[in-house]
C-alpha cells in the first residue's frame, strides 16, 4: 500500500501544507512552517522536511511539490533552489518521481482544473498568470514585497508601517498600532531588514489593519489603494474581457467582498476565491471531478 501513496506539497511564505494520499482515498494532512525556495535557508528547509517526514510516517514514491520562489530551468531540470528539497524528499520520503512546479500553477490547477482562466495568488505575497488548461503561458512578474506584491497582505503591511514610521497616519491609529504590536522604529526596521521572514512579518499586520477597514477613512483608503494597484498594475495586463479571474490566498478570501466590489469598476469578473488550494489539488491529482 505504501508504494501507491501520493504526496502533494503546497508551500508559501507563511505555511506549507502536506497531503499524503493513498490510492484508497485515505489522506493525512499536516501544516508546517513555510518554504520559499528563493529565501529560506538550507538548514531551515531540511528541518521542515524532517519534521514533515516524521509526522507523516510513510513513503511516497510520487510527489508533487508546489512552492513559492521556484524557478524552473529552461531544460526542465531541477532548479538549483530545489536541490536540497530533492535530496531530502528522496532520502526521507522514498520519493522516486517528483514534479516541481510553482505555487502559481498549484493555484491555477486548483481554480480551473483543465480549463482556461487568469489565476492569482493574494496571500502574504501576490502573483498571477494566464493558465491555458495545462501551463501558465503568460505572467506579470510579482517582483516580491519590496518591488511589487501589490494587493497582498505583505504589501498592505509595508504601506502601513511606512506611513507609521514617517508619521503619515492619524495619531489615534498610530497609537493603537504601537500599543498592539509594541511597535517602534527600531523593532520594525530590525524585523524588515534583518528578520528571518520580512514578508511574513509585514503580512502579520494585515488582519489588524482590515479590522479597521470601513471604520477609519485613512485605513479604508490605504486598503483600497493596495487592491486597486494590483488591479491596475497587474490584472489589466490580461484579457479580462474574455477570461474570469480565480484567486487563491487567505487574505483575498477573507476580504472577497472588497475585491469583488472594486474589481467591478474595472470590468474584472472573479470566478472563485479559495483560502487554501489543497482540497482541490487532492482532487486534481487523485483524478476526482
Encode pLDDT of 97-150 as tens digits.
888 888 899 999 999 999 999 999 998 888 999 999 999 999 888 877 778 788
Measured in degrees and rounded to the nearest 5, phi and psi for residue 271 equal: -90, -30
What does the pLDDT read at residue 1? 39
CATH number (domain holding residue 59): 3.30.420.40
Q: State which of 205, 225, 245 marks the end of a domain.
A: 225
What does the pLDDT read at residue 239? 95
Are 74 and 163 found together in one domain?
no
Q: Mention every residue, 6+ apart, whose C-beta is less than 8 A from residue 68.
A: 11, 12, 13, 34, 35, 36, 37, 38, 102, 103, 125
Mean pLDDT of 86-96: 82
Work out the pLDDT band at 13, boundaries 50, 70, 90.
low
d(CA 66, CA 279): 14
Model confidence at 82: pLDDT above 70: no
Numbers of helices and strands, H then E, in the chain: 13, 10
> What does pLDDT average to over the chain?
87
Are 97 and 6 found together in one domain?
yes
Model confidence at 2: pLDDT above 50: no
d(CA 119, CA 270): 10
Mean pLDDT of 33-55: 76
Sign, CA dihedral 201-203-209-210, equals negative
What does the pLDDT read at residue 209? 96
Instruction: Pick the more confident residue, 37 or 262.
Output: 262
Are 95 and 6 found together in one domain?
yes
Model confidence at 96: pLDDT above 50: yes
Query: Could you give the angle at the alpha carbon of 102 between the alpha carbons of 97 and 108, nearest 5°?
Result: 105
Angle between helix 171-181 and helix 153-166 axes, rounded to 10 deg: 110
Whole domain around residue 80: which residue ranges?
2-102+277-286
CB 81 within 8 A of CB 45: no
Asked if the structure places residue 193 within a domain, the reply is yes
Which cell is 263 given?
474589481
What does the pLDDT read at residue 232? 96
Asked if the structure places residue 237 within a domain, the reply is no
Model confidence at 173: pLDDT above 90: yes
pTM over 0.75: yes
Residue listed under C-alpha cell 494566464: 130
Instruction: Pick the more confident residue, 214 or 4.
Output: 214
CB 107 within 8 A of CB 261: no
Asked if the structure places residue 219 within a domain, the reply is yes
Are 95 and 166 found together in one domain?
no
CB 9 within 8 A of CB 64: yes
Work out the pLDDT band at 3, boundaries 50, 70, 90.
low
Which segments within the chain are labelled E, that is strand? 6-11, 15-21, 27-33, 62-67, 97-102, 117-122, 126-131, 136-139, 245-248, 270-274
Asked if the structure places residue 248 within a domain, the reply is no
Domain count, the chain: 2
What does the pLDDT read at residue 187? 94
Mean pLDDT of 4-25: 83
Residue listed under C-alpha cell 524532517: 50
Which cell is 255 given?
476580504
Q: Mention every residue, 6+ apart, whose C-beta is less than 8 A from residue 80.
A: none
Asked if the structure places residue 220 within a domain, the reply is yes
Model confidence at 70: pLDDT above 80: no
CATH number (domain holding residue 162): 1.10.720.160
Percent of the chain with pLDDT over 70: 91
What does the pLDDT read at residue 52? 86
What does the pLDDT read at residue 274? 92
What does the pLDDT read at residue 78? 61
Amino acid at each position: 500500500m505504501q508504494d501507491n501513496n501520493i504526496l502533494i506539497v503546497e508551500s508559501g511564505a507563511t505555511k506549507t501544507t502536506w497531503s499524503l494520499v493513498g490510492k484508497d482515498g485515505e489522506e493525512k494532512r499536516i501544516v508546517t512552517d513555510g518554504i520559499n525556495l528563493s529565501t529560506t535557508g538550507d538548514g531551515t528547509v531540511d528541518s521542515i522536511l524532517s519534521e514533515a517526514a516524521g509526522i507523516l510516517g510513510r513513503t511516497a514514491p510520487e510527489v508533487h511539490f508546489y512552492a513559492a520562489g521556484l524557478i524552473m530551468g529552461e531544460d526542465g531540470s531541477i532548479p538549483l533552489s530545489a536541490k536540497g528539497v530533492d535530496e531530502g524528499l528522496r532520502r526521507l520520503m522514498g520519493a522516486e518521481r517528483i514534479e516541481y512546479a510553482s505555487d502559481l500553477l498549484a493555484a491555477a490547477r486548483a481554480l480551473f482544473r483543465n480549463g482556461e482562466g487568469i489565476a492569482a495568488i493574494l496571500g502574504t505575497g501576490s502573483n498571477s498568470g494566464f493558465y491555458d488548461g495545462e501551463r501558465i503561458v503568460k505572467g506579470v512578474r510579482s517582483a516580491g514585497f519590496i518591488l511589487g506584491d501589490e494587493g497582498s497582505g505583505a504589501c498592505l503591511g509595508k504601506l502601513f508601517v511606512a506611513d507609521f514610521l514617517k508619521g503619515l497616519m492619524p495619531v489615534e491609529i498610530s497609537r493603537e498600532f504601537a500599543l498592539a504590536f509594541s511597535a517602534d522604529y527600531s523593532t520594525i526596521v530590525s524585523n524588515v531588514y534583518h528578520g528571518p521572514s520580512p514578508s511574513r512579518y509585514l503580512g502579520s499586520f494585515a488582519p489588524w489593519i482590515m479590522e479597521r477597514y470601513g471604520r477609519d477613512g485613512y485605513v479604508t483608503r490605504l486598503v483600497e489603494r493596495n487592491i486597486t494597484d494590483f488591479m491596475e498594475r497587474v490584472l489589466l495586463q490580461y484579457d479580462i474581457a474574455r477570461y474570469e479571474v480565480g484567486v487563491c490566498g487567505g487574505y483575498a478570501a477573507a476580504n472577497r467582498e472588497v475585491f469583488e466590489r472594486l474589481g467591478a469598476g474595472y470590468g474584472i469578473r472573479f470566478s472563485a476565491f479559495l483560502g487554501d488550494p489543497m482540497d482541490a489539488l487532492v482532487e486534481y491529482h487523485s483524478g476526482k471531478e
